[in-house]
Amino acid sequence: MKGRVETLKEMEYDNFSTWKKHSPWIYRIALTLILLYASLILILDSMALTYEDQQGVMLGLALASLLCFALAIFFLQSSFAKMRLAWRAGRRAHGHYTKSEQIIVDERKALFQSQHDACELSSDLRSGSWRPLACPWNVVVKPGEEIMATAHGNYSRFYGTDVSYMQSSGFFMGNAAFVLLGVAATTLGNRARRRQAEAMAQQQWREQQSVYAIVTNCRVLCQKADGTWLSFYYSGVTSMDVDSTTGTLILQFPDTQPLMLGGAAGLFCAVAMVWILHGRRGLESHPGLQHLRNLQQSTFTPESLN
């Protein structure tokens, strides 16, 4: 996870102007040269002092020269890191990605394609040209229930749980220092395990996995990784949070844990729910679908992300 976050931060350079990409290392190189020059001048001045009563001044100049030299080395090393960021941005601009960067690029392409498909569904619903899809053979629908879309998506539920942990104890014999050290180590170990258990028990998004989802005009069915099918009916939803920018839909219910759907499944479900609950007006004005409406007015394509 840490590596992914660092990669995302590095890829932010892709949005910068040419000067903003290169100015960090240019400033550092310039400062390095200035400090190296100042260090040279200071050491030469200290060497020019020969009188014994000037030894204090000589020592001060030598220390100032050493400080300037150390700062110059620091800025030189940091400039290399900034150079690398600018160089990687240039490589990505020509389509050369590392493995971790390629994963993020592919995810962005998939999200953009999902947003484009959700735009088409929204447009078909508004224009009245939408037609139900054929029902998959392994799913039983209710009378009057129509399939609006099928897609894969990211699934997770929000809840806490009970977590147990083993509390260790020990019997220590020996001098007082050894006994105190053993007791302290045992106490610290138990405390660390308790804190870890408390963190794991807190409410958080769990069961994160990829699911196959079927979006109908009254519910969304999700097939989990173990093959289990779960149904989430629109009529039972008490809160709906849509973010079409990230392709995320969060649904809350009065009698079960909140559901988060991401990717194509989340976008299709969001469009379907807004249509069922609010009709054409909802598709045209719901704030969570604003990004989709912006995409409909743009000329970008998934290929433009290369």
pLDDT single digits (tens) 163-181? 565 666 665 566 666 556 6
CA angle 192–197–202, rounded 5-degree value: 130
Give helix 290-297 / helix 263-285 axis angle, nearest 10°: 80
Better pLDDT: 215 or 102: 215
Question: 154: which strand partners?
Answer: 210, 262
Instruction: Please state whether beta strands 248-252 and 239-243 pair in parallel, antiparallel, or not at all (unpaired).
Output: antiparallel
Q: Is the pLDDT of residue 284 over 80?
A: yes
In this predicted structure, the answer to whether residue 69 has a pLDDT above a threshold of 80 is: yes
Q: Is 275 exposed, middle or buried (0-12, 13-18, 19+ CB in 10 A)?
A: buried
Length of the chain: 306
Whether pLDDT at 41 is above 80:
yes
The answer on pLDDT for 121 being more than 90 is yes
State yes or no: pLDDT of 215 exceeds 90.
yes
pLDDT at 211: 94
Token pair for 126: 């508004």
* Distance set, CA 11 to CA 8, 15, 86, 140, 277 (Å): 5, 8, 10, 45, 39
Percent helix, strand and coil across the chain, each rounded to 5? 60, 15, 25
User: What residues are paired with 156 via a beta bridge?
Assistant: 260
> Which residues contact residue 227 at a Cβ distance below 8 angstroms, ignoring those fewer than 6 apart?
none
Mean pLDDT rounded to a whole number for the chain: 84
- Check if the beta carbon of residue 212 is closer than 8 Å to that of residue 158: no
Indicate where the chain has its CATH 2.30.29.30 domain(s): 105-160+204-305
Is the model more confident about 212 or about 56? 212
Can you give the pLDDT at residue 169?
64
For residue 4, with 0-12 CB atoms within 10 Å meaning exposed, 13-18 middle and 19 or more buried, which class applies? exposed
Residue identified by tokens 């053979």 is 137
Question: What is the rounded radius of gyration, in angstroms, for the C-alpha atoms of the chain?
Answer: 31
Closest alpha carbon to 205 in 165, 156, 252: 156
pLDDT given for residue 51 in this prediction: 61
Tokens of 119: 């735009």
Whether 199 has a pLDDT exceeding 70, the answer reads no
Q: Reduced to 3 states, what is the DSSP secondary structure of residue 212?
A: strand
- One-letter amino acid at 265 equals A
Q: If you average pLDDT over residues 265-294, what whole number do you get? A: 93
**SS3 call for 98:** coil
What average pLDDT does this structure show over 18-33? 92
Residue 42 binned pLDDT confidence (cut-offs 50, 70, 90): confident
pLDDT at 36: 93
Look at residue 258 and tell me whether its pLDDT is greater than 70: yes
In this structure, whether the domain defined by 105-160+204-305 belongs to CATH 3.40.50.10330 is answered with no
Contact indicator for 176, 139 with CB cutoff of 8 Å:
no
Sign of CA dihedral 273, 277, 280, 282: negative
Q: Is the pLDDT of residue 140 over 70?
A: yes
